[in-house]
């Protein structure tokens, strides 16, 4: 078991036949970027925060001295279609934690009216592609055919999906929910608004929702700055701890 | 505790005095190959799936876009002898997970009528052997003598059995069930149908069951392709994550 | 879940509107040093010990043959202001353990009357500073402004807080308690009474408490000796275990 | 939580004011060797086995094809003094597991009548000593003085005790039981009957029990053979797994 805490930010009525959409960090930040774009475009309303004891044991500090917690946030969208969107600034650290977190997200989705699961992610190729393809996977044979008609591709040489984007399809299935994962082709080492756009275009086509992509690049920009700060923070920590005597000294004291 | 989920695929009546046979992945894939062969030869019927939160936190994607979960599958065979066969595409990742998984498999076996446990595995020697020996181990002294009569050998210099193939004999014992482990001599780095054949021959001799070995090599072939795909998937993930900035970026996002 | 044991050393009545102050080991031992100084200056009374199963699995031996356990200690101070001070000789080892430990400390604080949380720590810069700055973080916007007025700085390039000093602000928040983290600038690889003094000066200014700093350096000295002993102990263990045959032999025996 | 299973081998009445004596594997196998000697000399009777899910996930195979499980065994001795002796072929693997195992052993001891805890161990120095000293540690100040009178020494430069030998003194204390750890000076990389003898001589002196040491060296000999086998087994496993393709292949199969 991995403990989690749900903090209800706003009491809402469950939606009807909503799409649960996952946007946790991953390769190229594609999934997070795409999901966050939906929240902004369709005025998503934060209604629940999820804290998991297997998230990194830290908090982030903002410029104004206030704190950002490691957590997943649940946003509700009513129009053009009921959606519950999960954004996060981290995945769970351990394998077991990833199972529990994915299960909890699906559970919350169902409690708030989700009947279908989308997970967004990146598919890392190591090289830049002008027109990124979107690869798909699904827990229903009939959905495989449907998304293929919308131009989603399947890799002939297989592969896998690591983390919440994959496991949420398992827990969707165990709860009798259909689910689709859309992965945008991405170099993997950049924050990739192009791949996010490609994913959203397929999503838009499959669900027949119009999505304005204008702001997507701006969002990628500000995400880049944030990640640059995280990297700096981690470098500093390493620097401070690599000095003599030894980092063991940081753990014990009498 | 490690959470597990049982999904009953088909309601069946418990068997009577069935053999519970373990075929999870391991050295040379010998055990899995041998157990899978029994399922095919004797028309095993899938009745239960087991999902463990300590399996690798991922799903595999098939050519047609549908998903294969990490899980153990329980098959029922009625003729020539009642058997419950457990096939899996993974072992549990952590030591504690391996204990819990082995216990759960034995428990399920008992609930469905098992009164005897076989675990199949490979014994890695690092070199190819024309006529692979079969080494045995058992939780009953009288069984040691019995299997010796069928040509199963014991290593004079001891050794051990790691993972489910060993721990299931412990949990069999704690539930008063006799159990035997049969390990086919194998180089260890190849999928080895010869070692699987050797194991099945001893099993056939001890249990007095005729087993047609014709299809065994074909099965090894298709397993090889699958494993090749897994390797590729893992290589790609590593590739996508080794690029700058740093793989830490895959975990956090703001 | 990570098991913890509370040992009540002395039954006390809950304080009223007390400050809960964290002083577990960390960068430069700044937090621990500052918090311990408060215990000494204001005659803190030990009332509770907390043992966590995720602390290092060891005990320390003192010169007189008696034992020092890995634990956190809770001290009560009534004057000049109600305070509950937590000193420890270790942090929890695993991420999950750090969440549970931080939660438990905040819970105990609340049970004994805390309505505000301070966490003290060091901010490692890798270089020595004559006049160490104090960086702050808080879970309340209005507190950010207040501590800024007392000269606490915010880093323009962000950063984070790892371990109990950060997570206790999360659990304070989840329990509707305001909280402030004060981090003294420190090289990071020395026990740093200067940084501790800087932290205490800001604390003194914010809370309007007079604190005599005379003894602070002496305390740093004796802490240095303790840490030197720990280092020696760890070196010896490594030495004893690096010899042939192999350290695996230390785990098994027949 | 870490699951454990107690298997009662023989129902016995609790002893009165028994010594609980720990002999799990450790540095130089000193503690295990000394405790096992007591079992043999005073005809210890096995009454309980303890299986811990955090033990290494494996079984050992003996020459005759039967299996030895990873476990701790509890022996009862009535004369010359009531004793409960715990022998094991392993320690728990994780820090948390070590806490739970130590707690469970002390609990079992108390249920069967223990009112005092001894833990035996080795103190690794990296060099061979003709007349090994015995270092002590205790959870009671008055016991420190008592054992000093019997020639047990305290290290002036401190140190620590890792694993069950240390943690059992903590759990003894939390249950209001006095406890003493005796550590024989040993190179650390050999099975050391001399250090075990030194430990037993102090124990004999403190408890006023005569112990014949004749068989001690023989026992060390047979333990050496066992450990040699374990090493071989581990070498073979590594060998079998280091070959191409990759050890990842051992985990997955389709």
A248 touches chain C (CB under 8 A): yes
Question: What's the start-to-end Cα distance of chain C, in Å?
Answer: 33
| Identity of the residue in D56, D63, D248 whose CB atom sits nearest the CB atom of B158 | D63
Cβ C249 vs Cβ D231: under 8 Å: yes
Could you give the residue ranges of the DSSP H alpha helices within D82-140?
95-111
pLDDT at B91: 94
Classify residue D80: in a domain, yes or no. yes
Cβ A116 vs Cβ A85: under 8 Å: no
Read off the tokens for C95: 């991420």
Cβ-Cβ contacts under 8 Å, C7 against chain D: 174
Cβ-Cβ contacts under 8 Å, B2 against chain A: 96
Q: How confident is the model at residue D57 (pLDDT cuts 50, 70, 90)?
A: very high
- D92/chain B closest Cα distance in angstroms: 10
| Identity of the residue in A27, A124, A162 whose CB atom sits nearest the CB atom of B58 | A162
Q: Which residue has the higher pLDDT, B230 or B181?
A: B181
Residue from D4, D56, D160, D181 whose CB has the most chain C CBs within 10 Å, to mutate: D160
pLDDT at B64: 93
Query: Nearest CA to A136 among A113, A117, A155, A164?
Result: A155
pLDDT at C32: 94
- As a whole number of angstroms, the distance between CA C206 and CA C147 comes to 7
CB contact under 8 A, B95 and D57: yes
- As a whole number of angstroms, the distance between CA C48 and CA C153 comes to 34
Classify residue D251: in a domain, yes or no. no
**Where does residue C141 rank: exposed (0-12), middle (13-18), buried (19+ CB within 10 A)?**
exposed
pLDDT, block means (10 residues), chain A with 254 residues: 97 98 93 96 98 96 94 97 96 96 98 98 86 96 97 86 96 98 88 92 97 86 73 65 41 40
pLDDT tens digits for range C111-155: 999 999 999 999 988 888 888 999 999 999 999 999 999 999 998
Q: Which helix (H) or strand (E) holds B32?
A: helix B30-41
Query: Nearest CA to B193 among B39, B74, B31, B84?
Result: B31
Instruction: Please count the residues of chain C.
Output: 254
Instruction: Write down the number of H helices and E strands in chain A.
Output: 6, 11
Q: Which residue of D has its CA nearest to B140?
A: D66
CB contact under 8 A, B57 and A32: no
Q: What is the dihedral sign for C-alpha D29, D35, D41, D46? A: negative
Cβ D165 vs Cβ D121: under 8 Å: yes
CB contact under 8 A, D226 and C5: no
What is the ipTM for the molecules in this complex?
0.90
- As a whole number of angstroms, the distance between CA C80 and CA C57 comes to 38
pLDDT tens digits for range C93-117: 999 999 999 999 999 999 999 999 9
pLDDT tens digits for range C155-204: 877 688 999 999 999 999 999 999 999 999 998 777 888 999 999 999 99
CB contact under 8 A, C25 and A250: yes
Q: Which residue has the higher pLDDT, D182 or C254?
A: D182
Read off the tokens for D10: 């023989």
The CATH number assigned to the domain holding B204 equals 3.40.50.10900
Classify residue D237: in a domain, yes or no. no
Read off the tokens for D146: 């008592």
pLDDT at A236: 66
> Residues C20, A238, C71, CA angle at the centre, nearest 5°?
35
A126 touches chain B (CB under 8 A): yes
Q: Could you tell me what percentage of chain A is helix, strand and coil, using 3-state DSSP and rounding each to the nearest 5?
A: 40, 25, 35
pLDDT at A245: 36
> Residues D114, D116, D119, CA angle at the centre, nearest 5°?
105
- As a whole number of angstroms, the distance between CA B161 and CA D62 comes to 11
Classify residue C222: in a domain, yes or no. no
Q: Which residue of C has its CA nearest to D90?
A: C252
- As a whole number of angstroms, the distance between CA B228 and CA B35 comes to 21
Read off the tokens for B34: 């041998």
CB contact under 8 A, C56 and A252: yes
Q: Which residue of A has its CA nearest to C92?
A: A251
C220: pLDDT strictly greater than 90: no
Read off the tokens for A49: 């925060």
pLDDT tens digits for range D120-155: 999 988 888 888 999 999 999 999 999 999 999 998
Query: Nearest CA to B85 among B187, B203, B170, B201?
Result: B203
Residue C10 burial (CB count, 10 A): 9
Question: Which residues are B52's β-sheet partners?
Answer: B4
- C94/chain D closest Cα distance in angstroms: 9
What percentage of chain D reaches a pLDDT higher than 70? 91
Domain that holds residue B156: 4-250
Read off the tokens for D13: 């009445």
Read off the tokens for B130: 């024309």
Instruction: Please give the tally of structural domains in chain B.
Output: 1
C252: pLDDT strictly greater than 60: no
A252 touches chain C (CB under 8 A): yes
Query: Nearest CA to B75 among B21, B13, B16?
Result: B21
- As a whole number of angstroms, the distance between CA A200 and CA A210 comes to 10
Cβ B185 vs Cβ B133: under 8 Å: yes
Cβ C117 vs Cβ C174: under 8 Å: no
- As a whole number of angstroms, the distance between CA C209 and CA A59 comes to 28
Query: Nearest CA to C49 among C80, C13, C90?
Result: C90
**Where does residue A47 rank: exposed (0-12), middle (13-18), buried (19+ CB within 10 A)?**
middle
B196: pLDDT strictly greater than 80: yes
Instruction: Please count the residues of chain A.
Output: 254
Query: Nearest CA to D41 among D212, D230, D190, D246?
Result: D212
User: Between β-strands A18-23 and A114-124, what pairing exists: parallel, antiparallel or unpaired?
Assistant: parallel
B19: pLDDT strictly greater than 60: yes
D246 touches chain B (CB under 8 A): yes
pLDDT at A158: 66
CB contact under 8 A, C166 and A63: no
The phi, psi pair for B59, rounded to 5°, reads -130, 160
User: How large is the C-alpha radius of gyration of chain C?
Assistant: 19
What percentage of chain D reaches a pLDDT higher than 90? 73
- As a whole number of angstroms, the distance between CA A39 and CA A86 comes to 9
Distances (CA, A) of C192 to A250, C127, C221: 12, 12, 10
Read off the tokens for C126: 């890798």
Could you give the residue ranges of the DSSP H alpha helices within A162-215?
164-174, 193-207
Q: What 3-state DSSP class applies to B28?
A: helix
The phi, psi pair for A158, rounded to 5°, reads 65, -150
D99 touches chain B (CB under 8 A): no
Q: How confident is the model at residue B254 (pLDDT cuts 50, 70, 90)?
A: very low
The phi, psi pair for B85, rounded to 5°, reads -115, 130
Read off the tokens for B88: 């899996």
Cβ-Cβ contacts under 8 Å, D230 against chain C: 248-249, 252, 254
Classify residue C92: in a domain, yes or no. yes
Cβ B100 vs Cβ B55: under 8 Å: no
| Cα C22 from chain centroid (whole Å) | 5
Distances (CA, A) of D61 to B33, D68, D87, D163, D234: 23, 6, 19, 26, 13
- As a whole number of angstroms, the distance between CA D113 and CA D134 comes to 27
- As a whole number of angstroms, the distance between CA A239 and CA A221 comes to 27
Cβ neighbours for D149, distance < 8 A, ≥ 6 positions apart:
none
Q: Could you tell me what percentage of chain D is helix, strand and coil, using 3-state DSSP and rounding each to the nearest 5?
A: 40, 25, 35
C243 touches chain D (CB under 8 A): yes
- As a whole number of angstroms, the distance between CA C169 and CA B164 comes to 43
CB contact under 8 A, A95 and B56: yes
Which range has highest mean pLDDT (C12-26, C156-170, D217-231)? Answer: C12-26
Residue the block writes with tokens 């501590």: C147
Residue from D31, D89, D97, D99 whose CB has the most chain C CBs within 10 Å, to mutate: D99
């Amino acid at each position: 078991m991995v403990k989690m805490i749900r903090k209800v930010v706003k009491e809402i009525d469950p939606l009807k036949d909503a799409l649960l959409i996952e946007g946790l960090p991953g390769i190229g930040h594609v999934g997070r970027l795409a999901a966050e774009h939906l929240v902004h475009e369709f005025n998503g309303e934060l209604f629940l925060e999820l804290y998991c004891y297997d998230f990194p044991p830290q908090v982030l500090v903002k410029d104004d001295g206030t704190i950002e917690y490691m957590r997943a946030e649940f946003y509700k969208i009513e129009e053009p279609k009921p959606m519950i969107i999960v954004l996060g600034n981290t995945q769970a650290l351990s394998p077991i934690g990833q199972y529990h977190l994915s299960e909890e997200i699906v559970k919350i989705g169902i409690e708030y009216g989700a009947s279908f699961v989308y997970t967004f992610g990146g598919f890392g190729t190591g090289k830049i592609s002008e027109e990124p393809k979107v690869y798909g996977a699904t827990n229903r044979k009939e959905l495989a055919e449907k998304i293929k008609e919308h131009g989603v591709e399947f890799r002939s040489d297989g592969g896998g999906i690591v983390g919440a984007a994959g496991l949420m399809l398992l827990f969707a299935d165990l709860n009798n929910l259909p689910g689709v994962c859309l992965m945008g082709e991405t170099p993997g080492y950049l924050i990739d608004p192009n791949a996010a756009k490609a994913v959203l275009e397929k999503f838009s086509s499959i669900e027949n929702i119009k999505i304005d992509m204008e702001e997507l690049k701006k969002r990628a920009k500000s995400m880049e700055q944030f990640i640059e700060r995280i990297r700096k923070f981690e470098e500093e920590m390493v620097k401070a701890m690599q000095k003599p005597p030894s980092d063991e000294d940081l753990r014990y004291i009498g």
